[in-house]
Chain A
Amino acid sequence: ELKVEQNPLFLSMQEGKNYTIYCNYSTTSDRLYWYRQDPGKSLESLFVLLSNGAVKQEGRLMASLDTKARLSTLHITAAVHDLSATYFCAVDSSGGSNYKLTFGKGTLLTVNP
């Protein structure tokens, strides 16, 4: 059974600081996704990582994938309040043309002024 572990599960940071969220998974996969969810809202796709060494950046967020270590990171640079949300990583284990996404438990990020 695929396991996806995120840490930390709760992260409280000050504006302007940097931090990294880690996502470990237990099976071979080269398809990993990061999503953001605001309270009571749906999931917003942030990054799609499809190969070993993939790195993608959007604004203050940067995601990377190391398939050999089965590890993805989401790095936050100079956090701002608007980044407060829950961040999920998800691994696609289907091996086919459909998603069978298994999500981590999520990291609740709170950015304080």
Chain B
Amino acid sequence: DTEVTQTPKHLVMGMTNKKSLKCEQHMGHRAMYWYKQKAKKPPELMFVYSYEKLSINESVPSRFSPECPNSSLLNLHLHALQPEDSALYLCASSRPFAGTEAFFGQGTRLTVV
């Protein structure tokens, strides 16, 4: 199983809503990532979790709150987002060793209205 599963696939939310994106993998990977991708742009790293601990936060606004409840799950909690936060949010996972490949989920397409 080389799958990273993200839910939901699509999400429309208002600027006052609170929602969560979920990511799950069962490959035994101990590193998990959130990336943001705007249309026609490359993915940009947001957060890295290593062994369930936050190891990298790329100066992401606090309206995005990551959580890693266990080694298989990664959440991204969203609150008070802005329309410019509309994007494809990609989760990825990898073994916690240098030089291994990351596997990406299908993404959640988020629209903030």
Please name the residue on chain A nearest to B48 by beta carbon.
A98
Shortest beta-carbon contacts, A-B, top 3: A103-B42, A43-B104, A97-B96
A97→B43 contact, CB < 8 A? no
CB distance from A76 to the nearest CB of B (A): 20
- In the bound complex, residues from chain A placing their C-beta under 8 Å from that of B92 are 43, 99
* Interface hits, B73-113 → A, CB 8 Å: 90, 92, 94, 96-107, 109
- Residue A25, interface by CB 8 Å: no
A45→B50 contact, CB < 8 A? no
A98→B31 contact, CB < 8 A? yes
Known: A88-B43, A105-B41, A106-B41. 18 other contacts (CB 8 A): A33-B101, A33-B102, A41-B107, A42-B90, A43-B104, A45-B103, A45-B104, A48-B99, A92-B98, A97-B31, A97-B97, A98-B33, A99-B31, A99-B45, A101-B45, A101-B102, A102-B45, A106-B42
- Number of residues on chain B facing chain A (CB within 8 A): 27
Q: How far is the CA of A48 from the CA of B99 in the complex (A)?
A: 8
Task: State the A residues within 8 Å of B (CB).
Answer: 31, 33, 35, 40-45, 48, 50, 88, 90, 92, 94-106
Q: How far is the CA of A103 from the CA of B31 in the complex (A)?
A: 19
* Interface hits, B23-50 → A, CB 8 Å: 31, 33, 41-45, 48, 50
Instruction: Summarize A's interface: helix, strand, loop or mixed.
Output: loop
Task: State the B residues within 8 Å of A (CB).
Answer: 31, 33, 41-45, 48, 50, 55-56, 90, 92, 94, 96-107, 109
- In the bound complex, residues from chain B placing their C-beta under 8 Å from that of A101 are 43, 45, 102
Contacts known (A99-B33, A99-B94, A100-B48); A41 close to B102, Cβ less than 8 A? no
CB distance from B37 to the nearest CB of A (A): 9
